[in-house]
Amino acid sequence: MKPHNGPDTKSGSLLNQANSDHLLHRLYDLQQQFQHIPQSAIGALAKELKLPISQVESVVDFYSFFHRTPRGRFDILFSNCTSCGDTAMMHSMCESLGVLPGETRVDGAVSIDSTSCIGMCDQGPAMLVNGRTLTGLTERRLEQIGEKVELSTPVEQWPIEWFRVQDNVRKNGLLLGSSFDSGAGLQSAIHQGPEELLDEVIKSGLRGRGGAGFSTGMKWKFCREATGDAHYVVCNADEGEPGTFKDRILLTSHAHTVFEGMTLCGYIIGAQKGYLYLRGEYRYLLDDLRAVLKRRHKAGLLGKGIMGQQDFNFDIEIIMGAGAYICGEESALIESMEQKNGVPRIRPPFPVTKGYLGQPTVVNNVETLAAAAQIAVHGSAWFNGHGSDKSDGSKILSISGDCATPGAYEYDFGVSIQRILDDCGAEKVQAVQVGGPSGTLIAPDEFERKLGFEDLATGGSFMIFGQDRDLLEVVRNFTHFFAHESCGFCTPCRVGTTLLRNGMDKIASSHGTQYDVDELRRMAALVKRRSHCGLGQTASNPILDLLKRFSQLFEERLIHSDFEPHFDLDKSLEEARLLTHRDDAEAHL
């Protein structure tokens, strides 16, 4: 696959050709047709898909890309990520087009709002227009986009260069720098047999590249040994962690490798069906990915009797997400695949024994499956000959923020943070966020720490903040992200992330006291300890790290009093005083 060079004008038709009866896909079609999900269509859709109306209703309300009230014919979403977002640009466009943020203009032409990171952190500022990605925004480009909107020029007729998404690979390694002929991994698998190939994956030391770091070979072994009516392979391509975009690059330029990894997994665990769950922000990749699947079918690498083996049957479908960070968690992803809200399950049981449709299921990250395919071709010794003592192989990093050359960099595990900063041209660095908002914020005195599971583990996000950055505002942005993306299932996360957001807002606006800082610390610990899933358990990491390593930033914002309430009741009555033309003492509190 080549870097994307234009809008995805065929993705809707392609979806209708395969898996078109999936609820998320049908709701997307309705959203595109009516600019919202009409209430009148929900009952008919539920009946057609044989789903409870309540389930369809809840799905509409759960995913951020679905709306009950009409959006504009041009629905514009600016990323609010610290790397690929620019809220000032959003407000500028709102002013020029005469629309308020989060609302639809009276004539129904345009709506403008913000959204969580869209995976374009190496080429921001970026935004989505009717689901299509535009990168490298400038004030001049915004003016041109505004002109197209006012002229009602269809998005498909906008200049193709506006939609270019580059790979920006800055440093190759084991995965990005290696290639093989499509089918070479499958040939090796058939030659070795599933048991021997599984042993090779285990010996390689490959661990999940999504951040958790569980042994890939052991996960496959547990699933292979589990009993069920069917086994499934799921590729988790829902990389929603702010600052992460390396899976986007693998799917753009190494899709054959990823699909080969899925097929190899299917061969080992005895699965005949695989699914790639693609985040909604990457919809522009859908046409090219389906084209790769078609070529693999034609080459006998998918379908029935793969490579002439009568008992080797495996096929892959793509399911599109609809804007929910929580679906990056494997059990929430499975719930979404089953046409439900992406709410994480209680575990055990784990997906390897009871996953998709209650059957044994392997869920692996895009990078993990690409690495498995390379191991099948080159062998375990090739892979574990790289890395550190406890972390085999390499890691692809999504480097963004305050550096000269943001992009994808691949390093053997064990590399120092300082080496990475030197390579990407980062100078006068104040802090680095390793692993995205849910990861670890480190200060300059820790830049000799190493990348690896034994020290600094990461799903791939590597965000750099220079001396001019307001770290308090950065962490405030992160707390807003977690509060927005909470699925709402458990009270500690649903309520706790909101309280953390409110606490950071109060302190950042210079209305906080030491009492508020102490409350923030207490609440952060509670959310981390009591939340149901990984989102809540890591949501307070940025606050705790900032308190630990940059406590002076809080001190500088505090007012000199013991307590100030979150809510100013007297100020809230100002509107009532204006309406009643009163300003006497009894009209105040």
pLDDT at 10 over 50: no
Neighbour count for residue 129 (Cβ, 10 Å): 20
Q: Tell which wins on pLDDT, 165 or 573.
A: 165
Kindly state which CATH superfamily the domain 170-384 is placed in.
Answer: NADH-ubiquinone oxidoreductase 51kDa subunit (3.40.50.11540)
Encoded tokens for 396: 């692809």
> Taking a C-beta distance cutoff of 8 angstroms, is the pair 249, 166 a contact?
no
SS3 of the chain: helix, strand, coil, percent, to 5: 45, 15, 40
Confidence class of residue 54 from pLDDT cuts 50, 70 and 90?
very high
DSSP 72: P
Structure tokens that stand for 195 in this block:
């048991």
Tell whether the model's pLDDT for residue 401 goes beyond 60: yes
Question: What would the two tokens of residue 334 be?
Answer: 């499975």
Task: Answer for the pair 278, 28: CB distance below 8 angstroms, yes or no.
Answer: no
- What is the DSSP-derived secondary structure letter of residue 70? P
What is the token pair recorded at 361? 């299921």
Kindly indicate the confidence band of residue 5, based on its pLDDT and cuts at 50, 70 and 90: low
- Report, at the CATH architecture level, how domain 472-557 is classified: Up-down Bundle (1.20)
- 229 contacts: CB under 8 Å, gap ≥ 6: 359
CB atoms within 10 A of CB 186: 25
For range 367-375, the mean pLDDT: 98
Beta strands in 135-247 (DSSP E): 169-171, 232-237
Residues in the chain: 589
Using CA atoms, how far apart are residues 331 and 326, in angstroms rounded to an integer?
10
User: With 50 as the cut, is the pLDDT of residue 483 above it?
Assistant: yes
Return the SS3 of 112. strand
pLDDT grade for 20, boundaries at 50, 70 and 90: confident
Listed in sequence order, the DSSP H helices in 338-486 are 366-378, 380-384, 417-423, 471-485
Quick one: how many helices (H) and strands (E) in the chain? 24, 15
The percentage of the chain sitting over the pLDDT mark of 90, rounded to a whole number, equals 89
| 73's tokens | 């014919």
How many CB atoms are closer than 10 A to CB 93? 23
Residues of the chain above pLDDT 70, percent: 95
pLDDT averaged over every residue in the chain: 94
pLDDT tens by residue, 244-262: 999 999 999 999 999 999 9
pLDDT bracket for residue 577 (50, 70, 90): confident
Query: If DSSP codes are grouped into helix, strand and coil, which group holds residue 312?
Result: coil
Pairing of strands 461-466, 429-434: antiparallel
Contact (CB, 8 A) for 442 and 434: yes
Query: pLDDT tens across 24-48, in order?
Result: 999 999 999 999 999 999 999 999 9
Q: Residue 587 has what pLDDT?
A: 75
Nearest to 486 by CA among 500, 507, 476: 500
**Arithmetic mean of pLDDT, 480-495:** 95
pLDDT at position 564: 62
Is 6 buried (19+), middle (13-18) or exposed (0-12) by CB count in 10 A? middle
Query: E strands of 383-487, at which residues?
Result: 394-401, 407-412, 429-434, 440-442, 461-466
| Spatial separation of the C-alpha atoms in residues 561 and 569, rounded to whole Å | 18
2's CB contacts (< 8 A; 6+ apart) are 252, 253, 288
Q: From residue 53, give the alpha-carbon distance in Å to each of 27, 63, 197, 344, 529.
A: 13, 16, 46, 22, 36
CB atoms within 10 A of CB 552: 7
Enter the tokens of residue 116.
């969580």
The pLDDT of residue 565 is 65
- The answer to whether the beta carbons of residues 78 and 89 sit under 8 Å apart is yes
Short-list 402, 398, 400, CA closest to 411 = 398
pLDDT tens string 490-514 = 999 999 999 999 999 999 999 999 9
CA distance 29 to 338: 18
Q: In the structure, what pLDDT confidence band is assigned to residue 560 with cuts at 50, 70 and 90?
A: low
Per-residue pLDDT band for 559 (boundaries 50, 70, 90) equals confident
* Alpha carbons 209 and 587: distance in angstroms, whole number: 60
d(CA 71, CA 122): 29
pLDDT recorded at residue 18: 46
Q: How many CB atoms lie under 10 A from the CB of residue 531?
A: 24
Pairing assessment for the beta strands 110-115 and 169-171 based on DSSP bridges: unpaired
DSSP per-residue string spanning 315-371: EEEEEE--S-GGGGSHHHHHHHHTTS--PPPPSSSPTTTS-GGGS-EEEEEHHHHHH
Query: Where are the chain's structural domains?
Result: 11-168, 170-384, 394-469, 472-557
pTM: 0.92
394-469: CATH topology is Ubiquitin-like (UB roll) (3.10.20)
**Structure tokens of 499?**
């309280």
| Most distant CA atoms of the chain, gap in Å | 90
Judge whether 386 and 374 are in contact, CB under 8 Å. Answer: no
Kindly report the number of other CB atoms within 10 A of residue 223's CB atom: 27
Tell me which of 3.40.50.1110, 3.40.30.10, 3.40.109.10, 3.30.365.10 is the CATH number of domain 11-168: 3.40.30.10
pLDDT in tens, 274-317: 999 999 999 999 999 999 999 999 999 999 999 999 999 999 99
pLDDT value, residue 265: 98
Burial 59-69, CB ≥16 within 10 A → b, else e: bbebbbbbbee
| Separation in Å, CA 257 to CA 25, 113, 189, 325 | 26, 36, 14, 25
Q: Do 356 and 350 touch, CB atoms closer than 8 A? A: no
Which pLDDT belongs to residue 197? 97
Q: Is the pLDDT of residue 324 over 70?
A: yes
409 phi/psi in degrees, rounded to 5: -130, 135
Q: Is 427 left (phi over 0), alpha (psi -120 to 50) or beta?
A: beta
Mean predicted confidence (pLDDT) in 136-158? 97
Tokens coding 534: 């990984």
Element holding 274 (H helix, E strand): strand 273-278
Residue pLDDT, tens place only, 148-172: 999 999 999 999 999 999 999 999 9
pLDDT of 2 higher than 60: no
Kindly report the backbone phi and psi dihedral angles of residue 24, in degrees, each rounded to the nearest multiple of 5, phi listed first.
-60, -35
Q: Residue 589: pLDDT above 90?
A: no
Mean of pLDDT values over 54-83: 97
Reference 406, options 211, 62, 153, 125; nearest CA is 125
